Amino acid sequence: MGSGAEADDDRPRSIRRAGDPHSPAHRVRTGRILRGSCPHGHRGWGRRVPRLRPIHRGAPVTATVTPTGVVVAPAGLDREQWLTVRRTGIGGSEIAAVLGMSKHASPYEVYLDKRGELPLDRPQPAELAEAAFWGHAHEPTIASVFAERTGLRVVEGPGTLAHVERRWMLANLDRAVIERGKSSPSSLLEIKTRSAYQLDEWLLSVPDQPALQTHWYLAVTGYQHAYVAALLGGNRLIVHRVERDEQLVEHLVEIVGQFWQGVLDGTPPPVDGSEATADLLGHLYDVQADAVTVADPAELLPLLERRRELKAREARTANELREVDNRLKSMAGEAEVVTVQGSTAYTYRQNGPLSQKRFIAAHPDLARQYTHRVDALNTKRLAAEHPDEFRAHRARRLVVPNQETAA
């Protein structure tokens, strides 16, 4: 799978080197994730990481199976047992969230989960659960094709691994790889299933999130390289070889170790502005009707003032943007495509949502032909007859007097 990243070439491409400004190694070393500092601005993240104790004891060590990896839980655990083991440390799939680089989870959510303050097996969003299902279903096929095309042997992962000295560093390998001329595994295979729309992200190297996950597994196992095999769109397999970057490993261990120390100490990372955190906070607490809490003025008042400033700026920006858009629409007139200096500048096509009210008013007879009944929840009746159940599933709304409301 080499230079052209083609599916029928058996030479995997290497991940971008540390000098590449877009590589995860560069992100960790430079201003976006600073060495010796928390990526979320948490105080006290500059000290060297000690060897930390897990907050839960976890399973006993059964065997050393990689240069620095020991088995702490066997393969084949049921889901509840596996999720319990995951709470004894930080796994590779959580690294992007800890670093604030995931759109599906936040550092705050990972913190609460590791502290046991979230349900052990809380449901995933439907789209994520579906993607996870197909990823798991395709895994054996991808592993088999990887072995066939590269000539390398693959074996099942041994279970949950932990670093021999830092037991909070966890890894669950998709597969271990036995290189040519060897009788036991000396590298690992990380398997991904992705949409065809992500092809460009995978052609030259491994994208940041799976690259960081893979490097975490290298940190746990002590292996010097790994392979990442990604099935794109169900019909194109791309393989990259990832060489161990010792400096990147060191920085990951330091930054994630500081996060884990916060878990042990009960010091949460700051609440961030991610959608994942907003969704979590909307469902985190068992809300008591009309309950009142007294806030610290020194903490609350600056936040309210900052919010007022941001809402005012948002309103100004929205008005300015609407003015610019309206001028562009006016310039288009009856045309759908506007060009400048021989190339398309923008389009103003009539391909947006149907205005049903205008259509029904203009074509009532035609509208009746295409009107059908659909099942809908009678929320008014539900609220009247089952008020407790209705309230338990309502979203929370933030309302600040004299400021716009926020959903």
62-78 mean pLDDT: 88
DSSP string for residues in 38-87: -TT--TTTTSPPP-PPPSS--SPP-EE-SSSEEEEEETT--HHHHHHHHT
Average pLDDT over the chain reads 84
284-305 mean pLDDT: 86
Give the whole-angstrom CA distance, residue 238 versus residue 407.
Answer: 41
Give the whole-angstrom CA distance, residue 1 versus residue 332.
Answer: 47
Q: Which residues of 18-49 are buried (b: 16+ CB within 10 A; e: fewer)?
A: eeeeebbbbbbbeeebeeebbbbebeebeeeb
Give every CB contact of residue 372 below 8 A, 6+ residues apart in sequence: none
Q: Is pLDDT at 199 greater than 60 in this prediction?
A: yes
* Percent of the chain whose pLDDT exceeds 70: 83
Select the more confidently predicted residue: 338 or 127: 338
Give the whole-angstrom CA distance, residue 355 versus residue 369.
Answer: 17
Confidence at residue 4, expressed as pLDDT on a 0 to 100 scale: 37
Which residues on neighbouring strands pair with residue 178, listed in sequence order? 153
Select the more confidently predicted residue: 58 or 140: 140
Confidence at residue 232, expressed as pLDDT on a 0 to 100 scale: 96
Q: Is pLDDT at 360 greater than 80 in this prediction?
A: yes
**Is residue 161 within 8 Å of 172, Cβ to Cβ?**
yes
Confidence at residue 120, expressed as pLDDT on a 0 to 100 scale: 72
Confidence at residue 23, expressed as pLDDT on a 0 to 100 scale: 53
End-to-end CA distance of the chain: 48
Using alpha carbons, list the distances in angstroms from residue 399 to 12, 117, 293, 307, 336: 54, 26, 15, 12, 41
Q: Is pLDDT at 228 greater than 70 in this prediction?
A: yes
Output the six-digit token pair for 155.
């074996």
63-64: strand order across its sheet: 63-64, 69-74, 159-163, 170-172
Q: Is pLDDT at 143 greater than 50 in this prediction?
A: yes
Confidence at residue 64, expressed as pLDDT on a 0 to 100 scale: 72
Give the whole-angstrom CA distance, residue 175 versus residue 185.
Answer: 10
Confidence at residue 392, expressed as pLDDT on a 0 to 100 scale: 83
Give the whole-angstrom CA distance, residue 41 versus residue 85.
Answer: 29
Confidence at residue 19, expressed as pLDDT on a 0 to 100 scale: 39
Output the six-digit token pair for 116.
């046991």
The model's pLDDT over 144-158, given as tens digits with 9 standing for 90+, comes to 999 999 999 999 998
Using alpha carbons, list the distances in angstroms from residue 205 to 5, 12, 202, 224: 9, 10, 5, 18
Give the whole-angstrom CA distance, residue 119 versus residue 322.
Answer: 43
Confidence band (pLDDT; 50, 70, 90) for 139? very high
Confidence at residue 63, expressed as pLDDT on a 0 to 100 scale: 66
- Which stretches does DSSP call E strand in 120-235? 153-156, 159-163, 170-172, 175-178, 187-194, 225-232
All domains in the chain, ordered by first residue: 13-282 (3.90.320.10), 297-392 (no CATH)
Q: Is pLDDT at 16 greater than 90 in this prediction?
A: no
Residue 36 gets the label, from left (phi > 0), alpha (psi -120 to 50) or beta, of left
The model's pLDDT over 42-68, given as tens digits with 9 standing for 90+, comes to 333 333 333 333 334 344 455 678 999
The model's pLDDT over 259-288, given as tens digits with 9 standing for 90+, comes to 999 999 999 998 888 888 888 787 777 777
